[in-house]
Structure 1
Amino acid sequence: MATPETQAEIEQILGQVPSWMETIAAPASDHSWGIFRDLTLGETELSPREKGLIGVGVAAAISCPYCTHFHREEARLADVSEDELEEAVSLASSTRYFSTTLHGNEIDMDEFVAETAETVDHLKEQEAAPAGAD
């Protein structure tokens, strides 16, 4: 259970102290609120839209219905469209799919890093090429 000061802050910001926050053990409750407040709700390098889309993607990838529900609502508050939410979930699915392929096939990390660098260089060259040049 969070300290009375932290509980008051949570209620001020969220309008209530969600029941799930009350289940966080005392040694971690104030700290856990700080992480949530500062990263999810605070001003950071990421916009609320970006945070919402990342949250939806991660929640879908870890198959957490609680996080999925929360982050979809968070994203909607930031004017993320349903199409964008679907794309974020599809991107998370794609990342998880290829991660499984890479790990399951024990792809050599050094070779992967080298190939990725070559691919990035190629993509940069394609971006820099004048229109119509092949």
Structure 2
Amino acid sequence: MEGMLGQVPGWMENLAEPASEHSWGLFRDLNLGENTELSAREKALIGVGVAAATNCPFCTYFHKEEARLSGVTDDELRETVNLAADTKYFSTILHGNETDLDEFKAETDEIVEYITQQQAPADD
């Protein structure tokens, strides 16, 4: 941990001993790992969005700084937070109104099909 972060953060010392090594491994491999499908930039932006949506000031600060290390601009950070808020907003509407999931999926599939057809090159 010290080799990657330059220190053992105090909050990591709060992990229960049976889970401490496992928790560090998850954090290291998912957040800091280079052999993942997502780039460091993409992972940082996801972290910012989730942290904002869950109202976690610790994670928000960490992931914004992580994003800045990956070259993310303040405008991109603002947009990421707005997208997270938009998703949380509509999720609240969908859940609160008990929207039928199967109907929602069917409509979404129709929308995706329509957009796919619109984007397809026109036959000459």
| TM-score, length of structure 2 as denominator length | 0.95
Output the CA distance in 1 between the equivalents of 2:76 and 2:69. 13
Partner of 2:69: 77
User: Does the alignment pair 1:11 with 2:2?
Assistant: yes
Deviations 1:69-121 (A, max 9, x none): 00000000000011110000000000000000000000001100100000000
Between the aligned partners of 1:59 and 1:69, the Cα distance in structure 2 is 9
Q: Does residue 39 in structure 1 map to residue 30 in structure 2?
A: yes
The answer to whether structure 1 residue 108 and structure 2 residue 94 are counterparts is no
Alignment: residue pair count: 121
What secondary structure does 2:71 align onto?
Answer: coil
Q: Deviations over 1:41-84 (max 9, x none)?
A: 00210001100100000000000000000000000000001111
In the other structure, the counterpart of 1:124 is 116
Once superposed, what is the RMSD of the aligned Cα atoms? 0.8
TM-score scaled to structure 1, two decimals? 0.88
Q: Which amino acid aligns with 2:4?
A: I
Q: 1:86 aligns with which of 56, 65, 78?
A: 78
Distance between the aligned counterparts of 1:60 and 1:127, measured in 2? 33
Shift of 1:129: 4.8
User: Is 1:97 the counterpart of 2:79 in the alignment?
Assistant: no
**Superposed structure 1 runs of 4+ greater than 3 Å apart:** none
